[in-house]
Structure 1
């Protein structure tokens, strides 16, 4: 009698011990009664290609990819989605039955779904967006905001040249603002996003002046440790609708889980609790 293979997935990065993905996917596997496993794997850059070629032979159906491998896996994949190409990074790999590796980026999807669920009245077309930061997460956020119909994005980064690189890639709806003037972006912004790690536990605080926040703006922070950052606290005090960063982590995990295990998981309070354990 032939036994069905147990499907395996996981997350590859270095370091990886801090990842909340194993708790989240483990929760979804349990509640959906799926006999599968999701495993954190600390993989050095030099071993990345060998590991990716070996995993499918061991029963892996796919993996998430995090720092520092999100760009490198693009070169190793056989098929890359348009959105991953646009963002220049992949966070989700699917190991196909024909042996090919399919790379996607679901960060932008996760970002938008989080806003739609937790700020139901959010209208991307209502006015400009202000984006703090110009790293990999910012690229995903900018791509998804433009796709959602935001008319203009003001972007500011401590190193201006990185913001200018995004402007060069994403076009004339982006306008770069000097970091020392970043607070001025908030005067007209209807959507405000912090994509930097400033304000995270153990990191430097976000010191951008927030007195320009409009009370009808939607404000979100990709930092989720702490869940309520100073940016979100001050935005709430100013009357803004605020959305924490945990939902993006949950929603970006949905497409991968569905592709690997054949079930679309629920992002609900139990999933949030599992990720925070």
Structure 2
């Protein structure tokens, strides 16, 4: 007799997702293998998700919605599931990003998570710990779903030039990542300025930070440490970091010149001659 793991749907968003997936699959008269065939996944994966041993992706959820006529249920649930899988210290930040109408980010050493490609994100997350790397990468990338909302936030990034040269994941990954940055050139809601080495001493030398602005709530400044998040709504902190950000934008290259520099680094440092 096969043992069937019985989930408590109230235990977590992941358990609730698995419980509902099994319930609706069985109501449709499908086995896990048949469900997998319909979705173009393995029956084993369906079983792992149903028993909360595997985290579903947005693509999987969209296919389930279509196959079971679930009306978008799983596409909505997966957002909660993925957010619940973030490190506890980062969950508040993900919620801030989801609610913000404007996000201003200064990054001193790497491309920000909201603009990372899968390969780049995987390399960043696996630098020290490669446990559950597939799931952790999917969870990070899912945060980029905020740009698919009906009213996505304005996202403005000042990226230190060092981030373009810091080779993460190898030349192919970097070429793909810089090409991804260039793909936003005609998107007025995602703007990328590069702070060049030639800027010298600048207002961001103390480290990376974000500013989140909302339609009705006070703005919040966010900084990050090793395994810890530091959001602050202190008006003086917000005012000081906003001034700091203004200076960084002024010292950075224009949007057009930034794109030109990104393209030059992509071609000269990570071009075809380096991909062999």
* Between structures 1 and 2, the one with greater helix share: 2
Q: State the TM-score, normalizing by the size of structure 1.
A: 0.32
Q: State the TM-score, normalizing by the size of structure 2.
A: 0.32
* Between structures 1 and 2, the one with greater strand share: 1
